[in-house]
Amino acid sequence: MKQLAVPLAIGLSLSVLSAPVLAKSTIGGIVFLNTYNSSQDDNLDSANDLSNLTLANAGNSRLRIKWNNEDRVSMYYELALKGSGVTVRHAYGKWDFSETGQILAGQTSTPFAPLNANVAMVNNSGEGYGRVSPGRQSQIRYTYKFLNRDGAIAVALVNPNKGSIPTVDDDNDPTTDEVAQTREQSLPRLDVGMAYSKFNWQIFPSFFYHEVEFAGGAESITSNGIAFGFRTAAGPVTFEAEMGAGKNWGNTAGSYGSNSIAGARSGALYNGGVLGDD
């Protein structure tokens, strides 16, 4: 069986081959230590009551590296310093080629559902209710910034090769109940979002669309979703909320499973059964 691979490289070159320009690099970060006491009462026997003090490195501790130059080209790299190891949070380059236009290539959050991806800058911070977030994905993104600086619109082409893989019954082999399907696609997922601010209010409408094809023509799946978020502030207090709806979210890039906060119902809602279109 012959295989043909045609690579297509799209990125941002961070090297300057002509006259040198001034460049600036910064390294920084922040470390959080989760400190809390957990208590559990035994209703039957008070002798079995539990009280434990915990000191642990928080998962949102991070190290940041940023580089930029006079040509408005920049690079950003961010590592998560977790207790069990180090993982990449962000790794991208971007080019502000005009007053209103920007191109970004690399791994970071997408324009879809931007608020629920936030991690509060407090101890014991974690995932929001339901985890309605596409996470940080590899992408190519164009951003148009309004001239009045009140907002921006972003369009991202996201890596299509992530998400759960459905299974189907194998009719040719009665001893095998289900077989995993193989993705067969070349079109990336489309994420579109807008941010607009007026006075002390900000709104964040967004949507994504992804058509997933599988080898053999057994199934095709349409994944899509919409979200609307808003943020406002009164003095030192900031309030933000976001709502989302969609179908087959578990079959595309993102983390839509259940967690200890939302429980199993969020997993059923966002990562539920496969819905075929064919």
Looking at residue 164, its pLDDT comes to 53
Nearest to 56 by CA among 31, 28, 25: 31
Beta strands in the chain (DSSP E): 23-30, 33-40, 50-57, 62-69, 73-82, 85-95, 101-109, 136-145, 151-158, 167-169, 178-180, 189-198, 201-213, 220-234, 237-247
Residue type, 168: V
**CA angle at 173 for the pair 169 and 177, rounded to the nearest 5°:** 35
Strand arrangement, sheet containing 189-198: 23-30, 62-69, 73-82, 85-95, 101-109, 136-145, 151-158, 189-198, 201-213, 220-234, 237-247
Amino acid in the structure at residue 77: Y
Residue 140 confidence (pLDDT): 97
pLDDT of residue 90: 94
- Backbone torsion region of residue 254, taken as left when φ is above 0, otherwise alpha when ψ lies between -120 and 50, otherwise beta: left
**DSSP assignment string, 88-117:** EEEEEEEE--SSSEEEEEEEEE-SSS-STT
**What is the residue extent of each domain of the chain?**
21-93, 96-278
Reduced to 3 states, what is the DSSP secondary structure of residue 240?
strand
Q: What's residue 77's pLDDT?
A: 95
User: Which pair of structure tokens corresponds to residue 197?
Assistant: 């601010």
End-to-end CA distance of the chain: 28
Q: What is the pLDDT along the chain (278 residues), one digit of tens a residue?
A: 444 444 444 444 444 344 455 788 999 998 877 777 777 776 666 566 777 887 776 777 889 999 998 789 999 999 988 767 788 989 999 999 999 999 999 999 899 888 865 554 444 444 444 445 667 889 999 999 999 889 999 999 988 776 555 555 555 555 555 555 666 766 888 999 999 999 899 999 999 888 877 666 556 778 888 889 999 998 889 998 888 887 776 555 544 333 333 333 333 333 333 444 43
State residue 98's pLDDT score: 94
Q: Is 132 helix (H, G, I), strand (E, B) or coil?
A: coil
Tokens of 23: 């460049």
- Contacts with 87 (C-beta within 8 Å, 6 or more apart), sequence order: 79, 80
- For position 136, what pLDDT does the model report? 83
CB atoms within 10 A of CB 66: 14
Under 8 Å between Cβ of 152 and 172: no
Residue in the structure block whose two tokens are 């910064």: 26
Q: How many CA atoms lie within 13 A of 33 on its CB side?
A: 4
